Amino acid sequence: MTAYRTGSRFLLAALGSSLLAACANIGEAPKAAATAPPETTLADSFEPLGQAGLDRLQQNTMQKVCSEYEGKPVPDDLAKQIIAEAAAGVRYPADGNYFGDWKNGEKIAKTGTGLQSNDDPALPNGGNCYACHQMAAEELAYGTLGLSLAQYGKLRGQSEPILQYTWTRLWNAHAYNPCSHMPRFGDAGILSEPQLKDVMAYLFDPASPVNLPAPAPAP
C-alpha cells in the first residue's frame, strides 16, 4: 500500500503542470515512509486474504523481544521469562502415550503446505521438517537451518526424559532456546496432538526410515 500510494502521488504530480511539483512530490514520499512506525508500515503493506488475517501481525511478548534483539544476546531476565512461559504452556499427551503412526509422521514431515492464504483450511497442516532438518538418510532434499535428525531415536533411546524433551521441543522450542527459529507446532496450533504423536513415532520408531542406516554409496 505504501508503494502504491507513492506511485499514485507520482502519477498525479506528473499529470500536473510543472515538473517542479513532480520533483517535490517524489522527494516527500520517502520522508513520510521513514517516519512511519514499523507496525504501520507493515499493516499498510498487507491485506487479509483467506485464512491469513492481519491478526498475524500482532506480536506476542516473545516475538517482540526476539525482533528487538535479533542477532544480539537477549538479556537474561527476558530470556528466562520467555523460557518459563513457553515451558508452562506445553500440553503433554493426555493418555501419556507419545507415539502415533510413523508413516503418517513421515508425510507430515515432508508436507510444506498449510496456513497460507492459498491453502485449503479444511486440510491438515504439514510440519515441513525437511525444510530445516535432515531426517531419513534416503531423502536427499533437506534444509540445514536446523541440525540433522538422522538416526534420532537410535542415538537417543526412548527414556521418559528424552521423550518429554522431544515433545516439548515440538510443542514450543522456545522452552529451550528463547529465540528459536523452529515453528511452535503445538503452541501455535500448527499440528494437532495426534499429528505430533505421528511425528514423534517418525523420529523414534526403530522401523522408521529416520533410524535406518544410510544406504551404501553407489559403486
> Residue numbers of the site for ligand HEC (CB under 6 A)?
109, 127-129, 131-133, 145-147, 149, 166, 169-170, 173, 177, 180-183, 185, 199
Q: Which residues of 119-130 are buried (b: 16+ CB within 10 A; e: fewer)?
A: beeeebbbbbbb
Tell me phi and psi for residue 189, to 5 degrees.
70, 30
Compute the distance between CA of residue 118 and CA of residue 131 in angstroms, rounded to an integer.
Answer: 19
Q: E strands within the chain?
A: none
Least spacing, CB of residue 57 vs ligand HEC, in Å: 19
Least spacing, CB of residue 12 vs ligand HEC, in Å: 43
Least spacing, CB of residue 94 vs ligand HEC, in Å: 20
Q: Are 208 and 139 in contact (CB under 8 A)?
A: no
Least spacing, CB of residue 170 vs ligand HEC, in Å: 6
Q: Measured from the CB atom, is 22 or 178 closer to ligand HEC?
A: 178
Number of other residues whose CB lies within 10 A of the CB of residue 166: 21
Q: Measured from the CB atom, is 66 or 129 closer to ligand HEC?
A: 129
Compute the distance between CA of residue 49 and CA of residue 165 in angstroms, rounded to an integer.
Answer: 36
Q: Measured from the CB atom, is 22 or 204 closer to ligand HEC?
A: 204
Q: Measured from the CB atom, is 13 or 195 closer to ligand HEC?
A: 195
